[in-house]
Chain A
Amino acid sequence: MTTTSPPVATSPPPARTRFSRGAACMVLAAVAVAATLIASIGLGSRHISPLDIVHILLHPNGDLYNSHVLWTERIPRTFLGLLVGAALGASGLIMQALTMNPLSEPGLLGIEQGAALAVVVGILYLGVTDLQGYFWMALTGAALSAVLVYLIGTRTNTGSSTIGLILAGVALAAVMSSLITLMVVRDDAAYAHLRFWSVGQLTGRAAVLDDVLPFAAAGLLLALPLGRTLNVLSLGDETARGLGVPVERARLAAAAVAVLLCAAATAATGPVAFVGLVAPHCARMLAGPDHRWSLPLSMALGAVLLTGADTAGRLVIDHGEIQVGVMTAAVGTPFFVWLARRRNLVRV
């Protein structure tokens, strides 16, 4: 059996050490988030000097071009990136804890494709045109595909549910992206829209911030108190039941929060893979197995990862930029391969 976290029973460090370690990690993470925030606002394909930026921030003046760029594009984009990254980080950690599967990740499990499929159905057949509508479609699609992948993945005979889930996710993602192509291939307008949506990017999504904020914020607030529940659930269903936890209800509630977060993130930026994989693992490495610390840390790291990747994507090439989905894939793949190579992952 692969466990997401090292067994809790083995030599638990004293509580005070844990606390100070977790607190130290959180402080570092807060610094990293602040640094990413500043970098993302300050750096971009259009060079604006730091002094100008401070001036613009203090004296908002919509008339100047630089001010316009900053207030309508870079700042909302930065906050959107932080929000979506935090949502993906939390969603990934909850999924990994619930499935006891170190490779669980919203993007890899085909859940984001499910959200995309639902959005396309909404555009083409239900006359959905506004971002709120997109969001509800994405939420429905994400929930349905999460249930489907889980049902198939846990019933496979691959010898390990870890791999079963991934394979089921890959197969379902293939079917769903085929269906998407089938529907949009003759509709040029829908196709042009989807072509950019399906890469996963923050460019031009600034307007989405207001619509996504309530859902993502609600999801994050609901996720924060889940740490204790996840700790108990990771002891195994029997033990958790013995401790008086209503296991089924707790699982369902945590899964609902994970799907809400993933759907909000996907509705906002399109599929961004690997953030929900890398952030939770780094968080656990830093903070240890206690989910009360690793959950907020995973949110912070997800935010840093996504916004950092987005900022880097703006700087690597001279004209234009590399979409954040491509950047996170480039960062996340080595990590995924490293995880896949760990001996205890593949049970033979």
Chain B
Amino acid sequence: MATAIRDIPSAPTVSPRATAARLRARRRAHNRRTAVVTAVLAVFLLGFTTASVLLGGVAHIAAADVLPAALGLRTGLADYLIFQLRMPRALAALLSGALFGLAGALYQRIVRNPLATPDIVGISAGAGAGAATVLLLAPAAFTSGPPLAALAGAFTLLGAVYALSHRGGVDTYRLVLVGIGLSAVCTAYTNYLFTIADQNDLAVVMRWLIGSTNGADWQGVRTLALGLAGCLVCTALLYRPLSGMALGDQLATGLGTRVRPARAAALLVGAAAAALATSVVGPIGFVSLISGPIAGRLVGGERALALAPLVGAVLVVGADVLAQNAPLISPVPTGVLTALLGAPYFVWLILRRRHGAVS
């Protein structure tokens, strides 16, 4: 017996050096994959953005006029269309998509449920209600009011949803249900404002119901760019605590992460990201829901959070190009297309997902 045992080949002794080498190799492979995916997404983003500027919407500019105008060499109609209409629009789509993607990925990470994104939890509806209030009832504050009002609406709703779904801990599904309820009342309110709106304001206000990049201007692009920069910096600061929290609250606390402040900060950053994007382009539906899982499928694990904004940007700019140029249906609000894309995925998600699983 004893010899028999000795004959069994012993488990391969793993030298620490070999383990480290294997881990390094895996990390390198992961890095390579991340780099390739990022590069491909960046190419898509560049392509869609260029297409958005070159193709534009209804008005067609001769191709010969586009390039000089884009380089600022010619003035006139082409110049106006490129610089005042198409470029802000394309950039607003890009930046808002990134913000939605970031917000969704943050929420999915914190609540550990792919369903708990800002639009499902009702933050987009709150932001839309805030922005619509200022636009329709206090048009004097038009220039700088909507983003601030959207932030206020989003934070109010976040607080209300969190407080109302808190009952000896926050259950994800209760959070989602309360969010659905509160967003119903916000949507009803926005709808009401919409019916008393002046016919001339309708095109502007419509964005707060469906989500559209139509009519985005440089002011909005500036807001979005500053917001995205701020939110990305905050996310970078939160990256380490969030990684710790992936191990579970207790272990993270043991490792020295201050879990509660980190979670609260992440919730606020996510709400701010969703609110800023909503304040400029309206609630473009389901982008925050699908960006995180797509990023997770592409690179997996920790890095999904960093990649989600890029995925969101590609989605919204792509949807925007389609919304302007697709045959038969264009022009439509961008949010219509993202909802048509995202809602079936949402259904698939609730059909496929095992209860309690962490995505």
Contacts and interface: CB of A to CB of B under 8 A. Distances in A.
B278 to A, nearest CB: 16
Given A322-B192, A345-B177, 17 more contacts: A158-B173, A158-B350, A159-B356, A166-B180, A168-B347, A174-B285, A175-B343, A178-B339, A181-B336, A199-B191, A199-B192, A273-B184, A323-B195, A325-B191, A329-B187, A337-B182, A341-B174
A196 to B, nearest CB: 6
B146 to A, nearest CB: 21
Interface string B159-178: 00000110100010110111
Contacts of A240: none
B195 A196 contact: yes
Interface string A316-348: 000010110110011011001100110101101
A137 B240 CA distance: 55
Contacts of A346: 171, 173-174, 177
Given A174-B285, A346-B174, A164 B332 contact: no
A106 to B, nearest CB: 13
B44 interface: no
Contacts of B165: 340-341
Nearest to A333: B185
A182 B336 contact: yes
A240 B276 CA distance: 55
B115 interface: yes
Contacts of B344: 171, 175
A155 to B, nearest CB: 6
A157 interface: yes
A340 B333 contact: no
Interface residues of B, number: 48
A167 B332 contact: no
Interface string A189-204: 0000001101100000
B350 A168 contact: yes
A24 interface: no
A129 B189 CA distance: 29
B159 to A, nearest CB: 14
Interface of A: 103, 108, 152, 155-160, 163-164, 166-168, 170-172, 174-175, 177-179, 181-182, 185-186, 195-196, 198-199, 273-274, 320, 322-323, 325-326, 329-330, 332-333, 336-337, 340-341, 343, 345-346, 348
B184 A185 contact: no
Contact of B181 (A174, A198, A323, A336): A336
Contacts of A326: 188-189, 191-192
Q: Which 7 residue pairs are nearest across A and B when measured between Cβ atoms?
A: A329-B188, A159-B355, A340-B177, A333-B185, A336-B181, A178-B339, A326-B192
A253 B77 CA distance: 64
A127 to B, nearest CB: 20
Contacts of A198: 191
B336 to A, nearest CB: 5
B210 interface: yes
Contact of A152 (B173, B329, B336, B351): B351
B340 interface: yes
The residue in A185, A320, A337, A345 that gathers the most chain B C-beta atoms within 10 A of its C-beta is: A337
